[in-house]
Amino acid sequence: MCLIAFAVRARLGLPLLLAANRDEFFERPTAPLHRWALPGGHEVLGGRDLRDNGTWLGVSLAGRVAMLTNVRGEPAGPGLRSRGELATRWLSGLRLETLLAELDPQTYGGFNLVIGDLHTGAWHWLSNGDAQRPSGGALPHLTSRALEPGVYGLSNAALDTPWPKTLRLKAALTQTLDTAHEPALSPGGESDLARALADQTTAPAHRLPGTGIGLEREIGLSSAFVRLPEHAYGTRSSLVLRIAAAPGEPGWQLDAHEWTHTPLAQGQPHHWDDTRRRGESFRLLPSW
């Protein structure tokens, strides 16, 4: 997952509203949004990395949320362990104190992990990236910060680093919150956020970060929706998700819409031949 705007507890009865794009190499095997079980039996909703069996964004039916992005920069690349397991460990019910105690930041490539618990209302951002140099790759120590109610943006740098695409998606999410009486996945609100996720506007060179990957790739990665067919890389899926209180009933109502984007066969690299939409809607109970 490479771009997320999310609002946590920004309105009474609205624990979470988010819009997110996941960018990945075309060859990496991936399962789209669906319900599946972790090894310990906890059921989650999310996409799934079929290579390492982790996820980049998931919600457990027990009321846990995890979102993950990589940190771009030099040195770059994977670590000894898959970053996707950080999300699934939280979703499997691990206590925050245990996660912090057991997490060795040096064994993972640069990451941002946002975790939340609907029961306690607590949200945290964890990262092994350098907050002073937000595009500087991984560090041997962990940063942890509790998140207050509000709207946040996250891409491949530290939380709320003002990259142009991050600011644009945060603005779209804020507008949805401000203009919708009930910021649900209504046709208008959903279309606004979906349009923001599909935006292919690139940033001017003077506003680009310097993450050590060269100007051409910086430009290509500066849009919300990424198309880099020459690198066999791009936005693979887009997600709009809302968790809200169920009026007059216990628990929360989860509504999610995902669009998966499939590239054309080799030889026709400049178009996506298939965009499929799937939705999920179900109740999350107040206890499990």
Mean confidence (pLDDT) of the chain: 88
pLDDT tens sequence across 75-134? 555 678 999 999 999 999 999 999 999 999 999 999 999 999 999 999 999 999 876 665
Angle between the N-to-C axes of helices 187-197 and 164-179, in degrees from 0 to 180, rounded to the nearest 10:
180
Give the per-residue pLDDT at 132.
61
CA angle 89-1-152, nearest 5°? Answer: 90
Gap between the Cα atoms of 187 and 277, Å rounded: 14
The domains of the chain are located at 3-284
Nearest Cα to Cα of residue 21 among 264, 227, 211: 227
The CATH homologous superfamily to which domain 3-284 belongs is Penicillin V Acylase; Chain A (3.60.60.10)
Q: Residue range 188-214: average pLDDT? A: 87
Whether this model's pTM surpasses 0.85: yes
Give the per-residue pLDDT at 246.
81
pLDDT band at residue 187, thresholds of 50, 70 and 90? very low
Cβ atoms of 76 and 109 closer than 8 Å? yes
288 has a pLDDT exceeding 70: no
188 has a pLDDT exceeding 50: no
pLDDT tens sequence across 11-40? 999 999 999 999 999 999 999 999 999 998
Name residues whose C-beta falls within 8 Å of residue 235's C-beta, 6 or more positions apart in sequence. Answer: 2, 21, 22, 23, 225, 226, 227, 261
Nearest Cα to Cα of residue 81 among 5, 138, 6, 9: 138
250 has a pLDDT exceeding 90: no
